[in-house]
Chains A and B, each alone.
Chain A
């Protein structure tokens, strides 16, 4: 049945289990190995069995047919699979796709999963094997070139400073220091970020995400089943996706992303607005991402993101907690980060995030970014009080 803005999906499904494995370094293991460990942990967390899983959603950069390889490794024969690959945003988009499949009865237990061993495997970010034909002759370094170009334009157009970009990295580190599973825990100041090795102007190595191993898994069921399971459900309240371009040179506006549309769609489905969000999990592949997404999702005006993040506003103790696990900048970033936004959202909604728990969390906005600012996916989750 068609409902306005897809609002029939609001509260229809929930995350009931989350798991991680191989965060940081997992030498001697491959992507499928640590993914399977994360899947088992997520199912144990939910009190479900692998044999209960009948819907699988996954993407990666290591396998040409990620979902097929995944079901083979896990030894399951799901009746619904979705391998739509939009880059690191895929997993946030899957939250909506899984809710849709669950509501339609195409599956009863949906598994969203990811794993990669880029750090102990290739030792570098493995780029997609097909890149934009008319960009390649100029020797860009993907994906970094695209984000650096956006940052440079944002600085030129709005007066955003390198110090403001550095605030994002420092805030992430302060959150990471409260997360025993984070990869980078050492002290980090704005001066440290500015003085670290320049990689792609205006971005230093500390403006760029980590390169780690890691796997994450999320289990979703319909809301009625979710209420009977072990843990407090994280209800899916709204979702949206949007994409305008693959290549950064085809991006209509270097300082505005398709998150404007994905966010508006998610808020419309949820019947909510930015000020209704307790905390945010924004895909921070680079420091500029957080500034772009705060603007595009409506938490501040266009061009105001640099000032918005200043003075510790998104850090522990700030007005708007962002990336409470330490994010891709300091927690972990195994090539695609999206699934970890869902995992942290769930832990915060349960009140189970330990020292980094951001008070009483009623709503979380997760935002995934794919490829080179090419695809944006937003999903909003809440406690039962928000239903």
Chain B
């Protein structure tokens, strides 16, 4: 029977990012950064993956803005922007820029990761880098 890692990848991700930094898995054999978290490297199938804190720097690859219809008599619903960010370390992830109005987000915008949410439900969101504001 295959031996199990110390913790399941989803649980390990939550534990690592609880310090407020973005952590990714790195493959000991091929050196690639891996996201979403896994038990094996999707580039070379190695089982040797280690968690490392990363810069959190990235670039908006694409975005979309959901326009939501308001129900009669209810407050107007805000448009909701969703992005894909290419991290400088390689992987791409879906995320949001909670502090930026949807119309101000651009493809190519430089962003930096921030960890948001409650214990065990933390997610990676992004802020614009100062030079890009």
Contact = CB atoms under 8 A, between A and B. Distances in A.
B123 interface: yes
Report whether over half of chain A's contact residues are helix, strand or loop; otherwise say mixed. mixed
Interface residues of B, number: 25
Interface string B83-127: 010000000111110000000000110000000010001010100
A150 B84 CA distance: 10
B35 A134 contact: yes
A63 interface: no
A161 interface: no
Given A138-B94, A138-B123, A248-B94, A153 B62 contact: yes
A150 B61 CA distance: 10
Looking at A150, A197, A200, the one whose CB has the most chain B CB atoms below 10 A away is A200
A248 B65 CA distance: 16
Contacts of B107: 152-153, 156
Nearest to B10: A133
Contacts of B65: 200-201
B66 A138 contact: no
Given A138-B82, A140-B82, A200 B67 contact: yes
Interface in A146-191: 148-150, 152-153, 156
Given A134-B94, A248-B84, A141 B10 contact: no
Contacts, number: 72
B66 A141 contact: yes
Contacts of B123: 134, 137-138
Interface string A244-256: 0001111000100
Interface in B35-57: 35-36
Contact of B64 (A134, A137, A148, A247): A148
A192 interface: no
A85 interface: no
A145 B92 contact: no
Contact of A135 (B94, B117, B121, B125): B94
A249 B67 contact: no
Report whether over half of chain B's contact residues are helix, strand or loop; otherwise say mixed. strand
Interface residues of A, number: 27
B63 interface: yes
Contacts of B10: 133
B67 A201 contact: yes
B82 A201 contact: no
A152 B94 contact: no
Interface string A228-249: 0000000000000000000111
Given A133-B10, A137-B123, A153-B107, A249 B93 contact: yes
B64 A200 contact: yes
B64 A254 contact: no
Given A152-B62, A152-B107, A153-B62, A133 B82 contact: no
Looking at A133, A134, A140, A148, the one whose CB has the most chain B CB atoms below 10 A away is A134
Given A200-B64, A201-B67, A134 B93 contact: yes
Looking at B66, B80, B95, the one whose CB has the most chain A CB atoms below 10 A away is B66
Given A137-B121, A138-B82, A249-B84, A145 B64 contact: yes
Closest 5 A/B residue pairs (Cβ): A148-B64, A137-B123, A153-B62, A201-B65, A135-B94
18 contacts: A132-B36, A133-B10, A133-B36, A138-B82, A138-B94, A138-B125, A139-B66, A140-B82, A145-B64, A152-B107, A199-B66, A200-B66, A247-B36, A248-B84, A249-B93, A250-B36, A250-B92, A254-B84
Given A201-B64, A249-B94, 17 more contacts: A132-B36, A133-B36, A134-B35, A138-B82, A138-B95, A153-B61, A156-B62, A156-B107, A197-B69, A198-B67, A200-B64, A200-B66, A201-B67, A247-B94, A248-B84, A249-B84, A249-B93
